Amino acid sequence: MNIIQAIVLGVVEGVTEFLPISSTFHLIFSVKILGIMQNDFIKLFEVFIQSGAILSVALLYLIDVVKSKELIRKVLISFIPTALAGLILYKFIKNVLFENQTFMVIIFLTVGFIFIILEHYINKNKIDLRREIKGLSYKEALIIGIIQSIAIIPGVSRAGAVIVAMIILKYKRDQAAYYSFILSIPTIFAASFYDLYKMRHIVANYSNNWILLAAGFITAFISSYIVVKWLIDYLKKNSLVFFGYYRLAVAIILGLILFRSP
């Protein structure tokens, strides 16, 4: 990996981490498109740059969380199912799901259809988006957490799962995005910390590559900071349809490439 590739991957992580399009999916295929050989350092790099993305959200919203003990409790309830799923299925996720490209593309495509179908029901007034975060119950927080845990499957998108769950519960799109940002703080931090712990021997071996790690971290931080602020405003006026069609287009292109590959 060179410095340009590190910057590109940092931007990919920062842009996709909080959009409902799966950062894991984009990083996996970006590494392949850039022709980067998969090794222990790349695995460390992908985990490390997530820290840059989560730092941006922490700076933007941590004060909001600290101000409300009730919000903290609800976020923790939402976080628990994902934490348990990640711990129990860690090896299966890393060794099986992350290695099956065709499966990832199918999941990526399927979630795109879910976005489009969901927005169709909203347009037909079968789902009335009028609720705000202040009305979130503890039971709903648990339901959101259970649905978020599905995002351990590459291609689903943690943010997408949370937003879909909350839209079904009739929360406004921007409120759903906001909660997904808040929930990302413990979720991504815990996942990154656990991954880094598992890779502690790798960290020592590649500590001399700090320039590449720093480049990815900084670009992930800057790009995610911009995207997070943008998405709230976007979803106040727009739907998930764009992200749905984006998923369909990307999945079809990658599907054709995979199908033609020997």
66 token code pair: 């600290």
Helix axes 3-16, 210-237, angle to 10 degrees: 30
Give phi and psi for 171, each to the nearest 5: -85, 145
DSSP 133: G
What pLDDT, on the 0 to 100 scale, is given for residue 199? 76
**Chain position carrying tokens 């350092």:** 41
Cβ distance 18 to 162 under 8 Å? no
Collect contacts of 137-140 with beta carbons under 8 A, ≥24 apart.
138/73, 138/74, 138/77, 140/169
Report d(CA 89, CA 150) in Å as an integer.
Answer: 11
Closest CA to 6 of 26, 23, 30: 30
pLDDT by position in tens, the chain (length 262):
899 999 999 999 999 999 999 999 999 999 988 998 888 788 888 888 998 999 999 999 888 888 889 999 999 999 999 999 988 988 888 788 888 888 999 999 999 999 999 999 999 999 999 999 999 999 999 999 999 999 999 999 999 999 999 999 999 999 999 999 999 999 988 888 888 787 777 766 666 678 999 999 999 999 999 999 999 999 999 999 999 999 999 999 998 887 775 5
Q: How far apart are CA 151 and CA 162, in angstroms?
A: 9
Amino acid at 94: K
Distance CA 23, CA 156 (A): 9
* Bridge partners, residue 171, by sequence: 131
User: What's the pTM value of the predicted model, to 2 decimals?
Assistant: 0.92
What are the domain boundaries of the chain?
A: 3-260
